[in-house]
């Protein structure tokens, strides 16, 4: 079964075919045909045979350009016949030859994909399809990050999604830096969510560490912007694990930003509080408090 890294990238490219075009052009390859859009990827050949590529892009109308996109994380020898069948059906239906583009991060898969769709009949008939194989190695990752484009940076994160070494960690840190540089808060939140969906647990931990422990020296307009971003992240997470956790994490960030040491006892106290309004009062106090005691002093609302 395809995993989150596969499904998230397919969903992203399905919604944003122009991002695939930008990826190809950034890596020095020909881009996509103009005005292609995602279409139903079920291709029927003399029912009941069906072929389901990951993504099919076609131009408007019944005839014209087409592109099949396959996100390939591992070998799948069924693709020998399926890629040939898909290309044959689209060539016949659309009246022109298109492209089969294979995206992978694995060198062995790239080698396999280049040669798998070759068959020879008993009498020597040859049927061959050579897809456009795009392998995202560290060299390609550097080119994507160099653009400073947040959306291309997410594709760089996908390239190391199943790794855990120092290189992968550095890539993820660089990706977060590029995403956080965007002024579009909605885009930042969407890209962080997509990246987390792609990554394995070790790299998700790196993302969480960066987002929840930003470096800010003194309260400032930059701090206020950070606070809003942390709250936005907290709200998104709150859909699944509760708003209180998001507020508690935001409070810890504010305290550390102000220079307070959040020891185990203080951290446990914050984590144990499930009163969202109380947490928000503590956050408001933490902005100007001189001591931790000021932050957690009893509320005098009844007066």
pLDDT at 14 over 70: yes
Confidence of residue 46 (pLDDT cuts 50, 70, 90): very low
The pLDDT of residue 95 is 94
pLDDT at 171 over 60: yes
The pLDDT of residue 302 is 39
Which residue in 166, 117, 164, 111 sits closest to 135, CA to CA? 111
Span 176-180, average pLDDT: 90
Confidence of residue 303 (pLDDT cuts 50, 70, 90): very low
Which residue in 53, 71, 69, 64 sits closest to 17, CA to CA? 69
Of 14-18, 149-153, 239-243, the range with the highest mean pLDDT is 149-153
Q: Where are the domains of the chain?
A: 32-135, 214-303
pLDDT, tens digit (0-9, with 9 covering 90-100), for 105-163: 999 999 999 999 999 999 999 999 999 999 999 999 999 999 999 999 999 999 999 88
């Amino acid at each position: 079964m395809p995993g989150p890294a596969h499904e998230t990238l397919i969903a992203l490219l399905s919604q944003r075919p122009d991002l695939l075009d930008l990826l190809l052009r950034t890596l020095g390859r020909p881009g996509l045909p103009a005005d292609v859009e995602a279409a139903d990827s079920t291709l029927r050949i003399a029912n009941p045979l069906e072929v389901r590529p990951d993504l099919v892009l076609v131009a408007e109308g019944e005839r014209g350009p087409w592109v099949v996109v396959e996100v390939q994380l591992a070998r799948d020898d069924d693709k020998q016949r399926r890629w040939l069948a898909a290309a044959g059906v689209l060539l016949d239906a659309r009246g022109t030859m298109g492209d089969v583009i294979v995206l992978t991060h694995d060198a062995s898969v790239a080698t396999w994909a280049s040669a798998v769709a070759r068959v020879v009949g008993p009498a020597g008939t040859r049927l061959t399809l050579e897809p456009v194989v795009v392998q995202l190695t560290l060299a390609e990752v550097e080119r994507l990050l160099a653009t400073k484009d947040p959306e291309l940076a997410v594709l760089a994160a996908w390239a190391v999604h199943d790794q855990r070494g120092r290189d992968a960690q550095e890539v993820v840190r660089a990706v977060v830096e590029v995403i956080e540089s965007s002024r579009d808060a909605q885009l930042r939140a969407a890209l962080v969510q997509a990246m987390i969906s792609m990554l394995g647990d070790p790299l998700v931990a790196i993302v969480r560490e960066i987002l929840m422990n930003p470096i800010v020296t003194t309260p400032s307009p930059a701090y206020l912007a950070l606070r809003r971003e942390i709250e936005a992240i907290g709200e998104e997470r709150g859909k699944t694990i509760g708003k209180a956790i998001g507020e508690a994490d935001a409070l810890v960030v504010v305290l550390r930003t102000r220079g307070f040491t959040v020891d185990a006892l203080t951290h446990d106290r914050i984590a144990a509080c499930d009163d969202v309004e109380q947490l928000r009062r503590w956050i408001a106090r933490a902005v100007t408090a001189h001591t931790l005691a000021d932050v957690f002093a009893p509320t005098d609302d009844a007066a």
